[in-house]
Amino acid sequence: MQFNEYYNGRTGLTVGVNKVLFSEETPYQKVEILETDTWGNMMTIDGMVMLSEKDEFVYHEMLAHVPMFAHPKPRRVLIIGGGDGGTAREVLRHPSVEHVDMVEIDEAVVRAAKQYLPDVGDFDNPKLHVRFEDGITFVEKVSDPYDVIIIDGSDPVGPAVELFSESFYRNCYNALTPQGILSSQTESPWVPSYHPAIRKLFQSLDTIFDVSRMYLAYIPLYPSGMWSLAYASKGLHPHDPEVLDRVVKGTTSMDDSLRYYNPEIHQGSFALPGFVREILR
Amino acid sequence: MQFNEYYNGRTGLTVGVNKVLFSEETPYQKVEILETDTWGNMMTIDGMVMLSEKDEFVYHEMLAHVPMFAHPKPRRVLIIGGGDGGTAREVLRHPSVEHVDMVEIDEAVVRAAKQYLPDVGDFDNPKLHVRFEDGITFVEKVSDPYDVIIIDGSDPVGPAVELFSESFYRNCYNALTPQGILSSQTESPWVPSYHPAIRKLFQSLDTIFDVSRMYLAYIPLYPSGMWSLAYASKGLHPHDPEVLDRVVKGTTSMDDSLRYYNPEIHQGSFALPGFVREILR
């Protein structure tokens, strides 16, 4: 059996599947776990790859460590989405972290991940608080602000479409501490149908935040293999000398767990090809 | 009709194809041109994607401009392979270039490219000299050395397997001027079966050249979307201040044609994720 995900006409990814381990139509989306021939177990939502056991480290390290190392001392962290647990796992490697709220709309994602992606999450960690709520409304009523907010949602169709709206990012800004930093996944620059959503999202970040930048990561099971992410802050530039110093020191003490992120990647991933810059214009 | 190229078990790329425009079993390989639904015409060799009209700029800019800008004044350039003409086109944009030898073993590749990929090559340029010869033996007997040598071969199976050997790179070294620089395509770090060839190739470069480094590019129609390339020189580091100065000045005067390569990419593409560094150890 083959899994196919198309992203541009009939171009896309094809993956060999041994069997379907989990398949559920939830109130929000269709969640599936497929046992693949070479990537371990793989989660899809509405037919789009979210992660596989073999490649998830790229996405989770890049989404979590760029904002986490940029912040001088992240104590309280909010993750919107991220139900597979991988982003929280990377966040929890930072010793300053005291409290992580993970707000996942769909409990089925967490349930499937706990059963079929047992090494991805760190759900027994007492610092992690999983809430099955809508992240959009959650950020409207935050009273105790966060040092870092990470938007780990799926593609801008279905329940995740509001995760690309300006009002959502304005609420995130208000839910951040004065040195607060945000990161978000922002789709592939090679998928033409996402260009308007990407442009609008970065225009919103540019309006709301003091610093906003796109960065990139190589994710083999995501459309085209080129994935964009957003960094936004209330002042700290991702390449500020104090940030780069923290990255060098922090990655040295975390080295065994890091398989993608490192100080050179922290800098180099912000280099954007000309055709990607064009999308943002 | 769908074109499929698998790179890891049954994982790979799938592309919608309207029709087959060219298909020939040459003495060396099977060369095909497929009209795709969204990437323009696409060339495959032995079932492996070489380029499409829509994404070829990435590979050709990155393979050509990194060594060309690193060299202080490249006049004579040798391209091994590259029969589609895209690498030569980018090389010929550099005003210092006087003479380009393109040594392509298979005339059918050039013939197919001229007919079905007419915007890729610059075959009428009088500085370009196309020779239908074996690049392996050509570099054994170079009398007038080159400033830049670019290895634009296909995957290390079939006629291109020798393009990954130490003796070939030693001959390239000897065919370079004292400030000479070489670049080469070196496969995807996400394809486990290529790891031994990649490791061996970089070990050879490390032995033969004074400076050798891997760099990366996002190529959506190549396996996994993450592609590695090699830079090797007789002394000039790719991030030497004089090189970076040339890149800034040179790209400014070439800006209209560049859709991927720029000064930030020249630096950032050398940042390697941890799992890629592991392959080279």
Q: What is the CATH number of the domain that holds A135?
A: 3.40.50.150
- CATH code for the domain of A24: 2.30.140.10
Q: Are A36 and A42 in contact (CB under 8 A)?
A: yes
Chain A contact set for B39 (CB, 8 A):
8, 11
* Statement to judge: residues A66 and A188 lie in one domain: yes
Q: Is A46 a catalytic residue?
A: no
pLDDT at A158: 65
Task: Flag if A2 and B12 touch (Cβ within 8 Å).
Answer: no
Residues of B in contact with A36 (CB under 8 A): 9, 11
Q: Is residue A159 located within the same domain as residue A34? A: no
Report which residue type is found at B27. P
Residues A35, A45: Cα–Cα separation, whole Å: 15
CB contacts of B221 in chain A (<8 Å) are 11
CB-CB under 8 Å, B271 with A259: no
Nearest to B271 among A15, A37, A268 (CB): A268
**Same-domain check for residues B260 and B216:** yes
Does A154 lie in the same domain as A43? no
Tell me how many helices (H) and strands (E) chain B has: 9, 12
pTM over 0.90: yes
pLDDT value at position A155?
A: 72
- The per-residue pLDDT for B143 is 95
In a shared domain, residues A37 and A154: no
Query: How far, in Å, CA of B218 to CA of A275, rounded?
Result: 12
Q: Are residues B36 and B109 part of one domain?
A: no
The ipTM of this complex is 0.96
Place of tokens 């010869």: B133
Residue B154 has pLDDT above 80, yes or no: no
DSSP string of chain A?
-EEEEEEETTEEEEEEEEEEEEEEE-SS-EEEEEEESSS-EEEEETTEEEEETTTHHHHHHHHHHHHHHHSSS--EEEEEE-TTSHHHHHHTTSTT--EEEEE-S-HHHHHHHHHH-TTT--TT-TTEEEE-S-HHHHGGG-SS-EEEEEEE---SSGGGGGGGSHHHHHHHHHTEEEEEEEEEE---TT-GGGHHHHHHHHHHHHHHSSEEEEEEEE-TTSGGGEEEEEEEESS--TT-HHHHHHHHHHHHTTGGG-SS--HHHHHHTT---HHHHHHH-
- Measured between CA atoms, the residue of chain A closest to residue B227 is A218
Q: Compute the count of residue pairs across chains A and B with CB atoms less than 8 Å apart.
A: 133
Residue of A6, A8, A194 to mutate for B, most B C-beta atoms under 10 A: A8
Which residues constitute the domain of residue A31?
Answer: 2-48
Q: Which residue of A has its CA nearest to B258?
A: A274
Any alpha helices (H) in chain A, and if so which ranges? 56-70, 86-91, 107-116, 135-138, 166-174, 195-208, 241-252, 263-268, 274-280
Residue B273, class by beta-carbon neighbours within 10 Å (0-12 exposed, 13-18 middle, 19+ buried)?
buried
- B134, B152, B210, B240: the catalytic one is B152
Q: Which of A195, A204, A152, A197 is nearest to A173 (CA)?
A: A204
* Res. B33: pLDDT tops 80: yes
Which positions in chain A have a beta carbon within 8 angstroms of at least one beta carbon in chain B? 2, 4, 6, 8-16, 36-39, 57-58, 190, 216, 218, 220-221, 224-226, 258-262, 264-265, 267-275
B23 and B117 in a single domain? The answer is no
Helix (H) or strand (E) holding B144: none
Decide if B274 and A267 are in contact by the 8 Å CB cutoff: no
Query: What residues in A contact B15, CB-CB < 8 Å?
Result: 10-11
The closest alpha carbon to B186, from B232, B150, B230, B135, belongs to B230
A60, A35: one domain: no
pLDDT at residue B26, as a whole number: 97
- B198 and B111 together in one domain: yes
Nearest to B16 among A9, A262, A272 (CB): A9
One domain, residues B120 and B42: no
The answer to whether residues A28 and A86 belong to one domain is: no
My answer on whether A157 and A41 are in the same domain is: no
Helix (H) or strand (E) holding B186: none
Number of domains in chain B: 2
Please list the pLDDT of chain A residue by residue as tens digits (281 residues). 999 999 999 999 999 999 999 999 999 999 999 999 999 999 999 999 999 999 999 999 999 999 999 999 999 999 999 999 999 999 999 999 999 999 999 999 999 999 999 999 999 999 999 999 999 999 999 999 999 999 998 776 666 677 778 999 999 999 999 999 999 999 999 999 999 999 999 999 999 999 999 999 999 999 999 999 999 999 999 999 999 999 999 999 886 899 999 999 999 999 999 999 999 98
- What mean pLDDT, rounded, does chain A reach? 95
